[in-house]
Amino acid sequence: MKAASASGERPRDDSAAPNFIADIVDEDLRTGKNGGRLQTRFPPEPNGYLHVGHAKAICLNFGIAEKAPGGLCNLRMDDTNPLAEEAHFVEAIQEDVRWLGFDWGDRLFFASDYFERLYECAVTLVKKGLAYVDSQTPEQIRENRGNYYKAGVDSPFRDRSVEENLALLEKMRRGELKEGEAVLRAKIDMAHKNLNFRDPLIYRIRHAAHHRTGDAWCIYPMYDFAHPLSDAFEGVTHSLCTLEFENHRPLYEWFLEHVGGFDPVPRQIEFARLNLTYTVLSKRKLQLLVNEKHVAGWDDPRMPTIAGMRRRGYLPESIRAFCERIGVAKRDNQVDVALLEHKLREDLNAHCPRMMAVLRPLKVVIENYPEGEVEYFEAQNHPEYPERGTRKIPFSRELYIEQDDFMENPPKKFFRLSPGQEVRLRSACLITCREVVKNDAGEVVELRCTWDPDSRGGSPKDGRKVKGTLHWVSAAHAVRAEVRLYDRLFNAEDPEGDEDKHFLEHLNPSSLEVLSECYVEPTLAEASVGERFQFERLGYFVVDPDSAPGRPVFNRTIGLRDSWAKVAAKA
RNA sequence: UCCGGUGUCGUCUAAAGGUAGGACAAGGGACUUUGAAUCCCUGAAUCAUGGUUCGAAUCCAUGCGCCGGAACCA
């Protein structure tokens, strides 16, 4: 079976993982719950960039919505905290979700769009005697909440009259109270085992400008209040979130029930967030990497952010395939980053045209090739898809090969160049190493070789077997390029895993290596930003936005699998 | 000392009382004008102890481990 179609689209993974949420949704659809309606939402807070963990949630929410005809997934910015959120994150989030391949149609929503409605819901609760304005200090509130083992104690303001509460809430809204002077709380049970039920806060005062509503409000709703209601306003049927909200679900349901009047009533279902080996996926820590300049920015190609992965050269379909492959469950997990890399290589292999590039050049002079002469060999653009055509690559007396492809004293099983050895130059011909030229320091600076003119195209006339094949470029024709070799950002499998070691101590000091004197075949001179290639025998590379005309910059997305490295390491 | 959740190959994840399967990783081999890709093969798991049952990963009981929870964050 072919791994991919001729068009280079990623292979359909028919073993697409079932998951417990899909099962629940299927069952709801089967029994006609919600009148057959199906609606989800992806609700990021615009206080940072999306990362691959969010991609899991995005794929889940948009994927689930496709289970029913007419199923929808909204994009909703959960912007209820003006201190944390910024408009430019809103833009970045949309770009990332779109790039991943998802479409929310005209349903981009903001929790802040609902501020007036949410306020009315709060008034409803007050009128029902289910919410009150508490004038304790933040410290008192915290103190009186109790702890895991000890019940909380009622606020002295808990039994204010409805009228008084209404008046006070109005004062809060009008800005007549200072921050911390009062909050609106639900009146539930200060002794509840679930601490979320100990009179949770509904509104707090923030005399701060909001990125969308400006100064229109100085009270802002809390997540536990705003989220279920926003879901209900939009007609969300299944509200999917991560495990840390499990303890909040009863409260989610409480607000919906007591505000009342919603149909459908959304149901919250929790799943385990993604953890990846050698990776950090907490917004706070990613922020730290950016702020302390351990990376160049949110879109640094080493970052697990969607923006970083995009710049690194990831294909969105690889990320989607990965998310499908890892499944959705409730147990904690730490997925091997190798699985992500596998999905990446799978798509890149099918997608990328082959090219030749020499990263660490070693000069080769073909002694029996006339000076000044040039001939062109035809190279396939993709060995698995001949229909993608060929290109001409120039060959001349002076070439560059990779330094790693020569060893003066090779170990056994080294199939590359060494004195007296014959190798094939990819798509070109056979050459034999005749002489090694060294500098005063004893370093190999040049190889004198001869070629077999009867091996044009790469196959010798006499049919002799040649095991090694090297990539190369013609010195006179090659284009100089900068290549950035990226490796994993952390060299510990679980960088957040030790208690005695800060995650920054696990930073990989060689996560970026910049090579400024690389030579790529002439075809690559016109490559445009974002174009991806396989540099044969090296890996997959993408043209970085830092490229200038005539001076391309390539990012290594990921190397090819390298079984020789394993053999060599063992020896 | 509390509440909630969760324990299946090294890692993810299936198996809704009936052969513990797949993918990645690992190891071996075939093929090869990329030591790539592809193909074939191998090893590898039900937290523990009891119970119910013809039959238990699945049901029950007890124990243990791990994760989350006491922001005017989400």
In whole angstroms, B63 C1' to A367 CA is: 79
Nearest alpha-carbon partner for A239 in A76, A115, A116, A107: A76
Longest dimension (CA), chain A: 102
Which residues does A26 contact at the CB level (< 8 Å), separation at least 6?
A: A67
Which residues does A426 contact at the CB level (< 8 Å), separation at least 6?
A: A356, A379, A458, A469, A470, A471, A472, A536, A537
**Residues 149-188, chain A, CB closer than 7 Å to nucleic strand B:** 149, 179-183
- Assess whether A245 (CB) lies less than 7 A from strand B: yes
**Residues 270-329, chain A, CB closer than 7 Å to nucleic strand B:** 272, 325-329
| pLDDT at site A186 | 98
| pLDDT at site A237 | 98
| pLDDT at site A8 | 31
Identity at A524, one-letter amino acid code: L
Q: In A259-277, which positions are buried (b, 16+ CB within 10 angstroms) versus exposed (e)?
A: beeeebbbbbbbbebbbbb
Q: What was the ipTM of the complex prediction?
A: 0.97
Write out the catalytic residue numbers of A.
45, 273, 283
Nucleotide showing the shortest C1' distance to residue A3 CA: B38
**Residues 321-340, chain A, CB closer than 7 Å to nucleic strand B:** 325-336, 338-339
pLDDT in tens, chain A (571 residues): 222 332 333 333 333 458 999 999 999 999 999 999 999 999 999 999 999 999 999 999 999 999 999 999 999 999 999 999 999 999 999 999 999 999 999 999 999 999 999 999 999 999 999 999 999 999 999 999 999 999 999 999 999 999 999 999 999 999 999 999 999 999 999 999 999 999 999 999 999 999 999 999 999 999 999 999 999 999 999 999 999 999 999 999 999 999 999 999 999 999 999 999 999 999 999 999 999 999 999 999 999 999 999 999 999 999 999 999 999 999 999 999 999 999 999 999 999 999 999 999 999 999 999 999 999 999 999 999 999 999 999 999 999 999 999 999 999 999 999 999 999 999 999 999 999 999 999 999 999 999 999 999 999 999 899 999 999 999 999 999 999 999 999 999 999 998 889 999 999 999 999 999 999 999 999 899 999 999 999 999 999 999 999 899 999 999 999 999 988 887 6
Burial class (CB in 10 A: 0-12, 13-18, 19+), A446: middle
Nucleotide showing the shortest C1' distance to residue A379 CA: B33
Q: Specify whether the CB–CB gap between A302 and A308 falls below 8 A.
A: yes
Please report which residue ranges of A352-485 form alpha helices under DSSP H: none
- Assess whether A560 (CB) lies less than 7 A from strand B: yes
Q: pTM value?
A: 0.95
Query: What is the C-alpha separation between A418 and A569, in angstroms, rounded?
Result: 19
| pLDDT at site A18 | 80
| pLDDT at site A541 | 98
| pLDDT at site A180 | 97
